[in-house]
Amino acid sequence: MRSDVPFSRWRFRIFCFLPLLLPPISNGQQSCPNGGIQVDGRVVDRTGAAIVGAVLTLDQLPPARSNQRGEFIYSCVASQQHTLHVAASGFAERTLAIAPSRAGNLRVVLQIESVQEEVNVSSAQVNTATGERTLAGSEVTDLADDPDDLQRQLQSYTAAAGGLGGVPIITVDGFRLESRMPPKNAISFIRINPDLFSAEFTEAPYDGGRIEIYTKPGQSRLHGDLFFNDSEAGFNAKDPLSTRRAALTRRRTGFDLSGPLFHHDRDFSLSLERREINDFAVVNATVLDTAGNRTSLVQNVPTPQHLWEANARVSFLTSPRNVLIAGYTANVNQFENVSAGGITLQEAAYGRSQAEHTLRLSDVTTLSPHLMQEFRISVRYRDEQDTPNSTATQAQVAGAFTSGGADIQTSRNRETVIQALDDVVLTRKQHSLKLGVQVEDYFERIKTLQGFNGTYLFGGGTGPELDAQGNPIAGTSIVFDGLEQYRRAQRNLAGGTATTFSNVTGQPGNNFNQFRASLYVQDQWKLSDRLQVTGGLRYAVQTEPLSVSNITPRLGASWVPDKKRKWSLSGRVGLFLTPVATTTIAEARRLDGTQRTGQTIYTPLYVSGVPGGTIIKTIRSNAPSLTQSPSIQSQLAAGYSWAKGWNISASWVHVRQWSGLRTRNINSPLGNDPQGLRPGPRYENILQFQQTGAVIGDLETVSFASSASKRIQFYALYVYVDLQGTIDKEPTFAPQSSNTDAGEWAQISGRSRHNIVTSGQAQLPFGLTIAHVFRVLGGTPYNLVTGIDRNGDGNFNDRPELATASTPGAIDTRYGWLVSNGGNGTIARNVGLMPWNIYLDTNLTRRFVLNPKAANDRRQTLSLNLRSANLLNHTNVTTMGSILDSPSFDRAVLADPGRRLEFGVRYAF
């Protein structure tokens, strides 16, 4: 629905923003309510000396500091189990689980960092039954330094929420808006999959999970780091699909600095990082030489990247009950030869520049001993510009190569998002109640020439057999692939017309605005010392398209059946609604039929300029009353804990989604002729975003965690994913036929059926520490297609048909005999299976204290590390050739890099 609906958008926004503008409640002193508890204690070193300025974080409350005597106090918090994270310069960080009966007079002992560098995998940090996990201290240190590698590692930890094929939401410092990864040096701790069934969250839990990153506060003394990482070509293996080693290099330099800001109640932290990456993409295509003969082209194409990352944070303790935090992050990147690799030649690639700048402001106030208010507001600006290597018309030869100019052409996408959050936390007796308002306003300014250069598609066809001189042999007819079709077109031979020519005409501007707002309430009720229930309700609205009837309840319970608290049982269920994304609206507007229109010409001559022929228009639209997509998710989990930190758990998750977004041509031809009769306009494809898709399935997880030893810690997770549906990862996905869903129920693309993740750390002799992350993916599906459009609906995703050895044109494959046309029924979607992928990343570290006799907060250290990615040098395929009877069919086209080694040095003071 467009912005001209009879609805006052600005009045709507003002109404939703009103709760954010309410003045704070008086923060006068009140007595602690019955049922509330006080968490207090003292932070000391192993000699009993007080540690001044230690940073303490209780659950999600704002950070506090220990005073001159090392003391701290949290007045009147909920009577329930809490998690306290303590960090101090020169000491190993520590996380404690605090029971209500032992919340007073705590004595927190921190070990000197050089003596104890252990992974904090305690029961307070890993909820193996639900997939929740907290990474802090050395666990963060041992993660990959490179932001892209870091994101991939963290994504593996979210596997319990839908498998490794999902895309997790990444947020920073309590904000809900998705963000880019900050520099690792700026990270204090990371929460993986926090209570995903909470009404606080919009996203469905098992669509990739959630990663919450919290950046470091300033310290009581000036501290900092300087680091340098280097990976040279001689350290690294060649790309698994390349015939020779490329000059792969990677260098990272940066620093971070933190300390007080003129006064003890003000502090700052600053991080800056620069990356220079010389990577290469491998072209693995089949092309024609000057004589028209087929030849294999394997080429290393340079894909350099130049990246800057910065993070700054300032906090002010404006009163004993209020803290104000301001932050700024920047991420500026330059990429060359984007999309090159596989069967895409360098000329068809493009350059990209990306910039993201985010300002954040948080104000946390303890209004009373049992009431706290958290207000956050942020502004995020993204600017993405694409410049093609060539503006020539593109040629796509199915399964062989793509040449000419990039389809994306010159484009610029500017997005400004304003987010405001206002949360109130109320604790009374056995209840912990959280209420909140969340508002997001998206301003999209898009200028795109995508498709304006035009594309010739050679999908294969039929024609007469040719003699040695290229003359047609009378009375013959053969089927040939796209590469032979292209060869004939180049030489103006019989059967040499392209399958289609398509392009876009109109003006490039595409600007719009989308507004979202939501209200939620989440209640946690402790019925007894071993039984707790949670309930929540969320209401959401959005514009573009207008959707106002979105109410989602959530419910959960957890029970500890035995007095020794070794067993834990939990169950949760919730209704979730996925908003219509701005990218979906942008695509619908890109081909709206007014400002821009797509056009397709079937069997055109391969000529310069726009070829003649009947033009089939292509437009996109939204179905009437398009709204948010609903799903029901439920989970049952059980866990068992042995003494000394051994935990095992299992969970079962059921997912049911309906009214899922996908695309259908609502004006597809009644016959198989694209120029034939249609329900509507005769020469027009109307690709409509509809809510006619569905998903149903289960996920089973088994996990194990051990922190019994201070020298060895280990975590393992197995996830079995069985999600079947008629939709896929993107709303632009369309079934092969707009008239039937036959064969469309299939496993979702990219979702591996088997997911294995392990991680751990061990203390070795000579002060060495080794850490690893191990990932295995198996049963990853991909679709098999023919490269032709049998039903004339404009979608070239028709699947092969089953055949026998005697069927004309049949091809023997590992999936049986298949033929593009004339078989005995179409195969199902996504029957292709990718090879198993295996990744092992390791980090070997040695830390030296340069002045061991100095005070803990004045120590200087030098750390050396050797990090590996894909240490086993396993060929991890990411794309398989999917077009039947093409040179690349059922073979690896793209793969992740081979083994990479990186050496790093860090000086800290």
**Structural element, H or E, at residue 152:** helix 147-157
Q: Which of the 8 DSSP states describes residue 180?
A: P
Residue 608's pLDDT is 58
- Helix, strand, coil distribution of the chain in percent, nearest 5: 5, 50, 40
Residue 575's pLDDT is 97
Averaged pLDDT, 837-852: 94
**Rg of the Cα atoms in the chain:** 30
The token pair that represents 330 in the structure block: 């920047």
Per the prediction, the chain carries an average pLDDT of 87
> Of 135-139, 160-164, 280-284, 625-629, where does mean pLDDT reach its minimum?
160-164
Residue 115's pLDDT is 31
Q: Where are the alpha helices (DSSP H) in 408-507?
A: 482-490
Dist. CA 710–CA 705, nearest whole Å: 13
The answer on pLDDT for 207 being more than 90 is: no
Averaged pLDDT, 88-115: 71
Give buried/exposed letters for 363-388 (b at 16+ CB in 10 A, else e): bbbbbbbbbbbbbbbbbbebbbebbb
Dist. CA 271–CA 183, nearest whole Å: 7
The answer on pLDDT for 834 being more than 90 is: yes
**Cα dihedral 822, 828, 830, 831 sign:** negative
Between 221 and 468, whose confidence is greater? 468
Dist. CA 745–CA 690, nearest whole Å: 17
Give buried/exposed letters for 717-753 (b at 16+ CB in 10 A, else e): bbbbbebbbbbbeebbbbbbbbeeeebbebbbbbbbb
Dist. CA 415–CA 440, nearest whole Å: 12
Residue 7's pLDDT is 41
pLDDT confidence tier of residue 734, bands split at 50, 70 and 90? very high
Averaged pLDDT, 792-811: 90
Dist. CA 662–CA 654, nearest whole Å: 22
Show the beta-strand stretches assigned E in 592-628. Answer: 596-602, 615-622
pLDDT confidence tier of residue 1, bands split at 50, 70 and 90? very low
DSSP string, 71-91: EEEEEEE-SS-EEEEEE-TTB
Q: Which of the 8 DSSP states describes residue 149?
A: H
Residue 823's pLDDT is 66
The answer on pLDDT for 859 being more than 90 is: no
Residue 192's pLDDT is 86
pLDDT confidence tier of residue 122, bands split at 50, 70 and 90? very low
The answer on pLDDT for 674 being more than 90 is: no
* Contact between residue 494 and residue 463 where contact means Cβ atoms under 8 Å apart: yes
Residue 542's pLDDT is 97
Between 788 and 487, whose confidence is greater? 487
Residue 62 CA, chain-centre distance (Å), reads: 27
* Residue type for position 778: G
C-alpha distances in Å from residue 78, one per residue of 39, 82, 369, 537, 582 = 10, 9, 10, 21, 39
Residues 864-888: tens digit of each pLDDT: 999 999 999 999 999 999 999 899 9
CA atoms within 13 A on the CB side of 518: 26
Residue 196's pLDDT is 87
* Contact between residue 749 and residue 830 where contact means Cβ atoms under 8 Å apart: yes
DSSP string, 82-145: EEEEEE-TTB--EEEEE-GGG-SSEEEEEPBTTT---B---TTTEETTTTEEEEEBHHHHTS-S
CA atoms within 13 A on the CB side of 83: 19
Residues 630-647: tens digit of each pLDDT: 999 999 999 998 877 788
Between 367 and 757, whose confidence is greater? 757
Residues 6+ apart with CB under 8 A from 853: none
The token pair that represents 557 in the structure block: 């319970």
**Cα dihedral 594, 597, 601, 602 sign:** negative
Residues 455-476: tens digit of each pLDDT: 999 999 889 999 999 999 999 9
Residue 179 CA, chain-centre distance (Å), reads: 10
Dist. CA 816–CA 825, nearest whole Å: 13
pLDDT confidence tier of residue 766, bands split at 50, 70 and 90? very high
**Cα dihedral 558, 211, 445, 339 sign:** negative
Please, what is the Cα angle at 488 between 485 and 492, to 5 degrees? Answer: 135
The answer on pLDDT for 603 being more than 70 is: yes
Could you give the percent of the chain with pLDDT greater than 90?
59
DSSP string, 386-414: EEES--SPEEEETTTEEESS-TT-SEEEE
β-pairing, 684-706 vs 615-622, is: parallel
Residues 398-456: tens digit of each pLDDT: 999 999 999 999 999 999 999 999 999 888 778 889 999 999 999 999 999 999 999 99
Could you give the percent of the chain with pLDDT greater than 70?
90
Residue 537's pLDDT is 98
The answer on pLDDT for 23 being more than 70 is: no
Other C-beta atoms closer than 10 Å to the C-beta of 80 total 20
The token pair that represents 324 in the structure block: 């104000």
Residue 164's pLDDT is 58
Give the three-class secondary structure for 641. Answer: strand
Averaged pLDDT, 311-335: 90
Averaged pLDDT, 804-809: 90
> Of 155-159, 160-164, 322-326, where does mean pLDDT reach its minimum?
160-164
Q: Which of the 8 DSSP states describes residue 503?
A: E
Give the three-class secondary structure for 485. Answer: helix
* Contact between residue 173 and residue 183 where contact means Cβ atoms under 8 Å apart: no
Give the three-class secondary structure for 588. Answer: helix
Residue 203's pLDDT is 85
Residues 533-565: tens digit of each pLDDT: 999 999 999 999 999 999 999 999 999 998 888
Sequence spans of domains, the chain: 784-828
Dist. CA 364–CA 383, nearest whole Å: 31
Residue 69's pLDDT is 67
Averaged pLDDT, 831-855: 93
